[in-house]
Chain A
Amino acid sequence: MRHFTFERAKSVDEAVKGGAQPEAAFLAGGTSLVDLMKLEVLTPLRIVDVSRLDLQKIEARTGGLVLGALATNTDVALHPEVRRRLPALAEALLSGASPQLRNAATVGGNLLQRTRCAYFRDLATLCNKRTPRSGCDALEGWTRMHAILGGSNQCIAAHPSDMCVALAAFDARVKVRGPQGEREIALTDFHLLPEQHPDREFALSPGELVISVFVPTTAAAARSRYVKVRDRASYAFALVSCAAGLELSGGTSGRIIREARVALGGVGTKPWRSIEAERALAGQPPTKDSFRKAAELLLAGAQPRRDNAFKVELAKRTMVRALTLAAEGA
């Protein structure tokens, strides 16, 4: 591990100032940052500890939830209003990591966690995300955990977050503050596709600190579920996951989907919201058949590789399962 200096920010302004310095990094729960520092993948010179800032609050407003950047994953997952108004988010958080990690991990840190691509995490391999233009060993390598959507010839690293998948499906917006002041970024714009610059992962400028996340809580959000498929029953990143929400109209016999929300995890280079699939579902009956059709549509452009070809079918089935559960209602 490289030597670094450590400062604890006493205010948001102080944090922003510190974070704007060269080679600085914010420290929240530390579960992603410190891990990568130990692997020497991240070697910041200056650690700005933001964990004591007063940004832990979770507020339930009419029309939506405001999640403080420092609210822990556990606190968000167990919050009664989150569970009631956006069950998919609670389920997504609880399906991630382990209780110990969730107790330390924060909303802001989860938004900015880095990929679990094994090549990104290994200095002995080539990685364009770590070192721009150096090459990528993953492309022809072990791709079981890699993305089948949104990859480029530079990078196919999957986005690892469960929380972000649920937030992406439900139009969350991220409030950030930087040296230039405050602004809001749609969650679906917050994470960038790798394209030719996989080293650029977030729509953030130096020093910009996440303050909070706002999620509108709609009817579809209230009828939402998160399904995660992984290699063991707990404590594993998603092979495939799906956040789905439905607003239904009509009686029990002739129900119709008024609005659908779908995002996939484990398969995209960013949390994979599909407006196209959502449109295809609108106006359809909530049946396996319509779900499967929408899933086919979503995955039509998938670009699987040797080890992750199974994800195409698995993603479809996972999406059908999540939509089925959402239709059944929690």
Chain B
Amino acid sequence: MKPTITGQPLARIDGHAKVTGAARYSAEVQISGVAYGVLVTSACARGRILAIETNDAEREPGVLAVITPKNALRLPDTKVPENDRVVQVLQDDRIVYSNQPVALVVAETLEGAMHAALLVKVHEEKEPATVRLDDEIKNAFEPEPQSASGKKSADQVRGDPARGLREAAMRIDETYQTPYETHNPLEPHATTAVWNGPDRLTVYDATQGVFGVRKKLAKMFALPTGNVRVLTKFVGGGFGCKGTPWSHVILAALAAKQVGRPVKLVLTRPQMFGMVGGRPLTRQRLSVGANKQGKLTALRHESVSTTSRFDDFLEPAASVSRHSYACENMATSHRLVRLDIATPTYMRAPGEATGGFALESAIDELAHALKMDPLALRLASYAETDPTEDKPFSSKSLRKCYAEGARRFGWAWNKRSPARADGMLVGVGMATSSYPAYFSKAEALARMLPDGTALVTSGAVDLGGGTYTVMSQVAADAIGLPMDRVRFDLGDSEMPEAPRSGGSQTAASCASAVLLAGRALRDKLVRMAVADAGSPLLGARPDEVLIENGRMTANGRTDSFADVVKRAGGAPVEERARAGPDEARKKWSLHSFGAQFVEVLVDPDLGHVRVKRLVGVFAGGRILNARLARSQLMGGMVWGIGMALHEETVYDEKIGRIMTRDLADYHVPAHADVQVIEPYFIEEEDVHVDPAGVKGIGEIGITGTAAAIANAVFNATGKRVRSLPITPDKLL
């Protein structure tokens, strides 16, 4: 049956609850008897806690505990599960980055805990530390393959890049840098931990994945996994920094155990700079060669990124070069540098956002050197198959994206656009967007209730992108019900397992499971009906039964889902299904693609850049809900503007501390920075990517944007900015 609800641009079903405040986020969960935790954090970047004076704080009325490494419960197991981060949970006196948790005050009220936290005096012994890449780059090392880069090895070579460069008619060899960035979702990290007896733990957490949190808590407190329950009904943005459980999650549970009360722990905005990750700094060298026609002869992409002293996070920045252009001679490499910083983590389009800036800037530089239209240069090396893996793309509509983007934007390449009458310089630029299509194991449970409505569940998380809505749409079509008779629920580790919402994989993974579970439920109900002596459909062939709005029809006779359930005794009828990648999927290279075109105005004297218009055309498989998908892409593109012009987490290099710790100092685009943004889709039918045909669109919007803007700034000013963000001083 053809889906009729999936794809419709429906408004999000939780929209009303959100704007009226009825939607409860993790910090707003009401638990009786809850106590409040406030963290105290370190000042220095590396050292030891000599002593913590807690007397004054402990004497304050209402203070239940001041937990420090001295008196904190010892956790049975602090080893880190795979794909997870090392945490600092008051188990020793080491300080390994600035703003690290060193104590936790628990009190009857939030105000009391805040006041008492101010009275805690931490004495630190500082040790030499550095947060400067240049100080440690000599110790750069080759990281182990990581899941963030699809478990690919750090280095890959194909052909003979040195020769390709030698033989090129034109070469570009430049270094690009992207700064530290911090996710800054609007909703702060928040955890409420409730122990029900000595070995049962329930946690309400602002997380992108309830199962990851469950696993980590179970491990650290040595509990059977089934004894830990994690809930997350609404998330106010994650972008990666809620992808893994960080220190505060464990500390909330630890504190709750220690004081024998439920404990709520919410990070302040300044505390969100460091201990919950951020985008690492990258320095990337691009050596690109082309023949006179602009066909690439060599592409070398070497990336160095930063990580902490105690944990490896790899920003896979050079990976984007592995799939982007047809080129015989290619080399990509990744190195990590350890600094006295907190461990970075995935941040919206890890790898592609940073790597795309370098690659797509270099391509533009090459086009400029060859006096070629940068779009024509990209087409000259269009990759029909994946150039590294020698595999076909499961689907690739980039050519269409380029053409449609150029048409909508009115792309006409000039070496230099003329200035406006008011003196403002005008520039245009473009870049390619891409992001891998991830798909992970997911399960869903579909239940038909006796009233003829369905309840479908999967323990995914809705980061705000609209998972509740699109899963309801998919379920409605799969089962054969109208939207208002399907309820989709998520965000609970007691539900069937779904992957964490990261890597733009929730739509693909969860929708596939929901689709399969919904269909299985529908088929089961049909089978029950045709075998049921009480059904008008008794004896009909299942494949001749038509389903619409919860009614089954065959040979002019009808039955309803509700009646089938009632006749069977009234207990809900349910089916569970699991979706996940299979062997066949490995035959394909799987990516979303897109193209972005931008017009900027630059004040020639004062250096201010304004993005006047940003047009993006994206192909991300099937679009489950055009309205929500548009918002995702638009949000990604706004992030791209921020990456290009504003965002930078600044460290004081002497004291090793982040100095931009609020949203006044850490700039993201303000409304006035965002003028016209036009996201469009090219719909794709992709039967290889996953059962739902979805590639994911949560991240691709930010990829390529910064390069397109930097390229437009060059077009306007003749100045090539290779280090983001492009602030006024860089254009003076």
Contacts and interface: CB of A to CB of B under 8 A. Distances in A.
A124 B44 CA distance: 8
B118 A2 contact: yes
Contact of B659 (A119, A140, A227, A232): A119
B257 interface: no
A140 B270 CA distance: 22
A144 B645 CA distance: 16
Size class of the contact patch on chain B: 35 or more
Nearest to B668: A232
A56 B659 CA distance: 36
Residue of A2, A137, A233, A321 with highest tally of chain B CB at under 10 A: A233
A140 B672 contact: no
A118 B660 contact: yes
A302 to B, nearest CB: 15
A40 to B, nearest CB: 5
Interface string A37-80: 00110010000000000000000000000000000000000000
Interface string A199-234: 000000000000000000000000000010101111
Contact of A231 (B98, B111, B646, B661): B646
Contact of A141 (B645, B659, B732): B659
Given A234-B670, A310-B729, A140 B654 contact: yes
Nearest to A123: B43
Residue of B114, B605, B672 with highest tally of chain A CB at under 10 A: B605
Contacts of A314: 606-607, 728-729, 732
A229 B727 CA distance: 11
B650 interface: yes
B667 interface: yes
Contacts of B671: 234
A236 interface: yes
Contact of A116 (B111, B608, B646, B664): B664
B670 A235 contact: yes
B185 interface: no
B487 interface: no
Nearest to B651: A142
Contacts of B665: 116, 118
Nearest to A235: B670
B657 A1 contact: no
A270 B729 CA distance: 22
Interface string B654-682: 11010111001101011111000000000
Contact of A43 (B118, B610, B729): B118
A117 B160 CA distance: 52
Contact of A229 (B99, B608, B651, B673): B608
Contact of B606 (A1, A237, A318): A318
Contacts of B657: 122, 124-125
A233 B670 contact: yes
Contacts of A229: 606-608, 728
A93 to B, nearest CB: 16
Residue of A124, A310, A317 with highest tally of chain B CB at under 10 A: A124
B663 to A, nearest CB: 9
A137 B669 contact: no
B48 interface: no
Contacts of B729: 239, 310, 314
Contact of B673 (A140, A232, A239): A232
Contacts of B645: 231-232
A211 to B, nearest CB: 29
A317 B606 contact: yes
A316 B128 CA distance: 40
A313 interface: yes
A137 B99 CA distance: 17
B650 A142 contact: yes
A231 B606 contact: no
Contacts of A124: 41-43, 98-99, 657
Nearest to A124: B43
Given A124-B43, A314-B728, A232 B652 contact: no
A313 B732 contact: yes
A227 B659 CA distance: 27
A259 B672 CA distance: 35
Residue of A118, A313, A318 with highest tally of chain B CB at under 10 A: A118
Interface string A120-154: 00101100000000000100111010000000000
Nearest to A43: B118
Given A1-B111, A232-B667, A239-B729, A142 B652 contact: yes
A321 B673 contact: no
B639 to A, nearest CB: 14
Contacts of A320: 605
Contacts of A116: 664-665
Contacts of A98: 670
A232 B118 contact: no
A2 B115 contact: yes
Contact of B732 (A43, A118, A310): A310
Interface in B559-589: none
Contacts of B99: 124
Nearest to B124: A124
A287 to B, nearest CB: 15
A140 B655 CA distance: 10
Contacts of B728: 229, 231, 239, 314
B301 to A, nearest CB: 29
A160 to B, nearest CB: 10
Residue of A39, A116, A232 with highest tally of chain B CB at under 10 A: A232
Nearest to A139: B654
A137 B118 contact: no
Nearest to A3: B115
Given A229-B728, A231-B667, A314-B607, A125 B114 contact: no
12 contacts: A39-B270, A43-B118, A98-B670, A116-B664, A124-B41, A124-B42, A124-B99, A125-B652, A141-B654, A232-B645, A233-B673, A310-B732
Q: 9 smallest A-B Cβ distances: which pairs?
A: A124-B43, A233-B672, A310-B729, A234-B672, A118-B659, A235-B670, A234-B670, A141-B652, A233-B673
Interface of A: 1-3, 39-40, 43, 98, 116, 118-119, 122, 124-125, 137, 140-142, 144, 227, 229, 231-237, 239, 310, 313-314, 317-318, 320-321
Given A235-B670, A314-B607, 13 more contacts: A2-B115, A116-B664, A124-B98, A124-B99, A125-B43, A141-B653, A227-B606, A231-B728, A232-B667, A232-B670, A233-B608, A234-B673, A236-B670
